Amino acid sequence: NAGVTQTPKFRVLKTGQSMTLLCAQDMNHEYMYWYRQDPGMGLRLIHYSVGEGTTAKGEVPDGYNVSRLKKQNFLLGLESAAPSQTSVYFCASRLIRSNEQFFGPGTRLTVL
Amino acid sequence: GEDVEQSLFLSVREGDSSVINCTYTDSSSTYLYWYKQEPGAGLQLLTYIFSNMDMKQDQRLTVLLNKKDKHLSLRIADTQTGDSAIYFCAEIFQTGANNLFFGTGTRLTVIP
């Protein structure tokens, strides 16, 4: 039981490049989340999904897109990376009947 | 959005008690949470309290809730070096998805 995993762990991009971050969970959780963590600002919700095929915007969705084609996977895309997107990105998931979120180890992204 | 505030830093000596404070804004929050983030890792749920409780104790952890002042605190008794981490409080934002709003995080440093 791996829990929540994230790929890759680290990435450096140039401004304007695109990339996709992958989150996978093997706990059959319905809800999945993408957060970004910046110094002094805590975690801010980017997008979330309440089930396969559904996504919704969080607090800071601009510049990001997401897809949930399979229940166990939640992808976060950056179409044209900007230096302001330099951050640590965390994925989380939970069961529909629980409020406890389980977090992945994070992806550190640097945009030059 | 919601505004959950915490002090950024706290230093204590090993063996002393630590008290981490949090103020939140949504008086309708049903649950309030404390998460711990160790260096280079994701967040882990430490404990939570239901909004109709004033206090909850779990081994070395004591959570106090003052609903009138919207103030939440986490006390760690007999603080150990392994307690050094960032601690986040979080409240549920009352929408259909019950998303969490996180505080800015308090970095606890335990001095041997």
Give chain B positions within 8 Å (CB) of A92: 42-43
DSSP A21-89: EEEEESS--SEEEEEEEETTTEEEEEEEEEETTEEEE-SS-TT-EEE-SSTTEEEEEESS--GGG-EEE
The reported pLDDT for the residue numbered A27 is: 96
Can you list the residues of chain A whose pLDDT is less than 50?
A: none
What pLDDT does residue A92 have?
Answer: 95
Structure tokens at B62: 């004591």
Quote the minimal CA–CA distance from B90 to chain A in Å: 10
Residue B93 confidence class, pLDDT cut points 50, 70, 90:
low
Measure the CA–CA gap between A81 and A106, rounded to whole angstroms.
18
| Residue of A21, A23, A29, A43 to mutate when probing chain B, most B C-beta within 10 A | A43
CB contact under 8 A, B104 and A40: yes
Asked if A105 and B40 come within 8 Å (Cβ–Cβ), the reply is yes
Report the distance separating Cα A7 and Cα A105, nearest Å: 10
Chain A's closest residue to B104, CA to CA, is A42
- Percentage, residues of chain B above pLDDT 90: 66
Burial zone of B12 (CB within 10 Å; 0-12 exposed, 13-18 middle, 19+ buried): middle
Q: What is the pLDDT of residue B103?
A: 92
